[in-house]
């Protein structure tokens, strides 16, 4: 069991690279929050039984219900979503995967249509 991933937490975006899974954003039902961190789950497959480790990383973003698409081999873009129950995310982010690391940076957002801005 991975205690960091329990307590009614739902996930919204994930990326996998080699033996590592990154989970970005999500929603905690216990706190009614979208914590601004992300998770790294590493799976080691030595001879015998596998080892799974999980750590919470700082520097993430508060997001749920966003869209993510791959733009390059190790680059992804996150568009839209929600920061809270009634606050839309009107920003976009680039996610860069490196060797054993992940970087999330803000990028220029598209020109949002009025129906997206005000719904």
Distance CA 3, CA 80 (A): 29
Whole-number average pLDDT of the chain: 83
Q: Is-contact 79 90, C-beta < 8 A? A: no
Q: What is the pLDDT of residue 63?
A: 86
3 or 65: which leads in pLDDT: 65
Q: What is the pLDDT of residue 69?
A: 92
Mean pLDDT across 23-51: 83
Which tens digits make up the pLDDT trace of 58-106?
A: 888 888 888 899 999 999 999 988 887 778 888 899 999 887 778 899 9
Q: Per-domain residue ranges for the chain?
A: 13-118
Q: What is the pLDDT of residue 5?
A: 63
CA-CA-CA-CA dihedral for 89, 69, 93, 59, to nearest 10: 100
pTM, two decimals, is 0.79
**Around Cβ 53, how many Cβ atoms within 10 Å?**
12
Closest CA to 79 of 10, 16, 13: 13
């Amino acid at each position: 069991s991975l205690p960091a991933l329990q307590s009614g937490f739902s996930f919204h975006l994930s990326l996998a690279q080699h033996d590592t899974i990154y989970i970005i954003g999500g929603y905690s039902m216990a706190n009614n929050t979208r914590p601004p961190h992300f998770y790294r789950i590493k799976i080691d497959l030595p001879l015998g039984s596998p080892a799974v480790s999980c750590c919470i990383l700082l520097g993430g973003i508060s997001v749920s219900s966003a869209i993510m698409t791959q733009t390059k081999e190790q680059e992804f873009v996150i568009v839209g979503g929600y920061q809270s129950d009634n606050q839309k995310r009107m920003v976009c982010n680039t996610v860069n995967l490196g060797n054993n690391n992940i970087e999330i940076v803000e990028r220029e957002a598209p020109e949002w249509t009025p129906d997206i801005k005000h719904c």
